[in-house]
Structure 1
Amino acid sequence: MRTLKIGTSNLEVPVVAVGCMRINSLEKAEAERFVQTSLEEGANFFDHADIYGSGACEEIFADAIHMNDDIREKMILQSKCGIRNGMFDFSKEHILSSVDGILKRLKTDYLDILLLHRPDTLVEPEEVAEAFDKLENSGKVRHFGVSNQNPLQIQLLQKYVKQPIVANQLQLSITNATMITQGFNVNMENEAAVNRDGSILDFCRLNDITIQPWSPFQYGFFEGVFLGSDKFPELNAKIDEVAAKYGVSNTTIAMAWILRHPARMQPVTGTMNIERLKDCCRAADIQLTREDWYEIYRAAGNVLP
């Protein structure tokens, strides 16, 4: 699979990441087939979080892949922490204990990347810096990033944290593209012009932070998948038309739409269906034309000024 260097690091990662949030929905044999297929497809970047399945997803993954030193070196593991018991917690104590739990469940000595999951308004960035230093110096975490953070939140962290922020995981799909739409509507008096995220897309590009789009097929906040939905007839008709043009599935085109953006994003899949996973991976080989990209964007109901 085509790769990119994540953030300012030298870490080469596949352009499609495999999300493991739902792996606890699979039987053991199914989980084994799923992770093996991912590796065969070149999708060896696995995204986790300590809250997925209350930790069970990491354990199931480790068992499914038959974790050992040899297989560990063939994959890239990312996990997230900072959400607990109905609140957010970026304290040094919680970050350190969370990583220890993640490593134990994944049966590994280190994470390639650790993300802070959702912004904690009570964050003491000095504590985060201390936690990151300890994790890096101990070899438990090699790279660091954030999730769902805006530019000023990242800049506040970077004032104290010496490690570069290599990734920011953000919601993005054809139907949830406000970070793109706002850029089209500069100085316009309409709803689309409202800057809801501090121009996070431009900020990440300027600072070489890799955006990892989550829920690339969802509309709303986990309201459903737009592919095949009767709520988006025009969009599905256009995606199907473009899919026929390239001889691929609608899933491949929806993923290729994100990969076409020059920000060099790394979308995170959510499917546990092996065929859909393969379709997601095929998007790495598709380069949509500018016309295709804009036609799909407008078909989702987005209006250009």
Structure 2
Amino acid sequence: MTTNADAAQNLDGERLLYGCMGLGGDWDTTPYGPKDIAEAEAAVEAALDSGITVFDHADIYRHGKSEAVFGEVLSRAPGLRERIVLQTKCGIRLADGDRPGLYDLRGDTILRRVEESLERLRTDVVDVLLLHRPDPLADPAEVAGALMSLHRQKLVRGFGVSNMSAAQIALLQAHLDVPLVANQLEMSLHRRDWVESGVLVNTPGAASVGFPHGTVEHCRAENIRLQAWGALAQGRFTGRQETAAERATAQHVASLAEAKGTTPETILLWWLQRHPARIAPVVGSARPERIRACGDAARRAPELTHEEWYELWITARGGSPLP
């Protein structure tokens, strides 16, 4: 598999990840077909052409079809597995009949879900496994035991979390013998609470921000790589706009892109990458042209000045001055 067995190093130098949630057909249990495989191959090729080598999955994406169709792509491309970093997640169970969807980080469930992911992906090891969502009923010692079992069996090289706070991370880490290497959070120029939670400290506005303060700082202090899902803000600044602030931000993004000889998508990703936490955005589109539009964010260091970063932020806030 990958030549570097250190999961932290595998992620450390990567500026972008490709999110595979859009691969595999519809969000149902209908089997995928040749068209879905061809679309997945085109998306993977566009990601590789753009300099992206980390591919992000979850066991629930398209009811498992995202992993399965990616496994088809790997089986048709000898040598590809050795060139990429494979990351997946577990911990969410989709609704099934009368049973609602729920979170499940019981040890046996983790072990079973990883075995199923390995089979769908047609690989014998996952480079990084993320726990997808916090399970309030989880026993951290039991979770850690399952993760260490996977590590000892060499089925998973490294571990991280997704959508977790600093306190939740610290509790899990206290029971783990290996360091957590990643935390994947929703972060974008639209979803800005991760940065505003710090700026609004000691102001009345702090109560309006739901992001757990200190999470970004904890990840920086512990060398846990932040990954940003929803990084392109669902097209709010590159396609559809619903508010005056979004329209003004889209115009500003387009102007910066023209001035710097790049794309609006890259400007949005640079805004995240410019933060000193070394955020690695996840590009989730299945459209090859949109994936390639993000390529400069993988190939070029962020070319936003201090002032330009703030101008984008303030414009996205609707022009509201900072406290």
Q: TM-score, normalised by structure 1?
A: 0.91
Identity of aligned residues (%): 38
Q: Distance in 1 between matches of 2:13 and 2:64?
A: 24
2:265 and 2:294 in contact (8 A); partners too:
yes
Residue aligning to 1:294: 310
Q: Distance in 1 between matches of 2:76 and 2:198?
A: 44
Map 1:118-197 onto structure 2 (within 5 A): 118-191=133-206, 194=209, 196-197=211-212
The AA in structure 2 aligned to 1:78 is: Q
Residue aligning to 2:16: 16
Q: CA deviation at 1:192?
A: 6.5
Stretch of structure 1 that moved more, 259-268 or 27-36: 27-36
Map 1:250-265 onto structure 2 (within 5 A): 250-265=264-279
Q: C-alpha deviations, 1:45-82, integer Å up to 9, x for none?
A: 10000000110110111112336762211110000000
Matched, 1:47 2:56: yes
1:13 and 1:76 in contact (8 A); partners too:
no
Q: Secondary structure at the match of 1:24?
A: coil
Q: Secondary structure at the match of 2:88?
A: strand
Q: TM-score, normalised by structure 2?
A: 0.86
The AA in structure 2 aligned to 1:21 is: M
Residue aligning to 2:129: 114
Q: CA deviation at 1:190?
A: 2.0
Matched, 1:72 2:81: yes
Q: CA deviation at 1:197?
A: 0.8
Stretch of structure 1 that moved more, 268-277 or 106-115: 268-277
1:186 and 1:193 in contact (8 A); partners too:
no
The AA in structure 1 aligned to 2:23 is: I
1:19 and 1:270 in contact (8 A); partners too:
yes
Q: C-alpha deviations, 1:207-232, integer Å up to 9, x for none?
A: 1111100001226xxxx634331421
Q: Secondary structure at the match of 2:129?
A: strand
Residue aligning to 2:321: 303
Q: Structure 1's 280 and 68: CA in aligned 2 closer, same or farther, altered over 3 A? A: closer
Q: CA deviation at 1:95?
A: 0.4
Matched, 1:276 2:275: no
Q: Distance in 2 between matches of 1:282 and 1:262?
A: 19
2:7 and 2:157 in contact (8 A); partners too:
no
Q: Structure 1's 69 and 27: CA in aligned 2 closer, same or farther, altered over 3 A? A: closer
1:8 and 1:209 in contact (8 A); partners too:
no
Q: Secondary structure at the match of 2:188?
A: coil
Q: Distance in 1 between matches of 2:141 and 2:274?
A: 38
2:248 and 2:315 in contact (8 A); partners too:
yes
Q: Distance in 2 between matches of 1:94 and 1:63?
A: 25
Structure 1: give runs of 5+ residues left out of the alignment: none
Matched, 1:35 2:25: no
Map 1:188-207 onto structure 2 (within 5 A): 188-191=203-206, 194=209, 196-207=211-222
Residue aligning to 2:65: 56
Q: C-alpha deviations, 1:2-56, integer Å up to 9, x for none?
A: xxx9x98332542100000011246322221221222232211100000001101
Q: Distance in 2 between matches of 1:13 and 1:107?
A: 26
Q: Structure 1's 43 and 270: CA in aligned 2 closer, same or farther, altered over 3 A? A: same
1:181 and 1:192 in contact (8 A); partners too:
no
Q: CA RMSD in A?
A: 2.0
2:166 and 2:218 in contact (8 A); partners too:
yes
Residue aligning to 1:240: 254
1:13 and 1:45 in contact (8 A); partners too:
no
Stretch of structure 1 that moved more, 9-18 or 125-134: 9-18
Q: Secondary structure at the match of 1:66?
A: helix
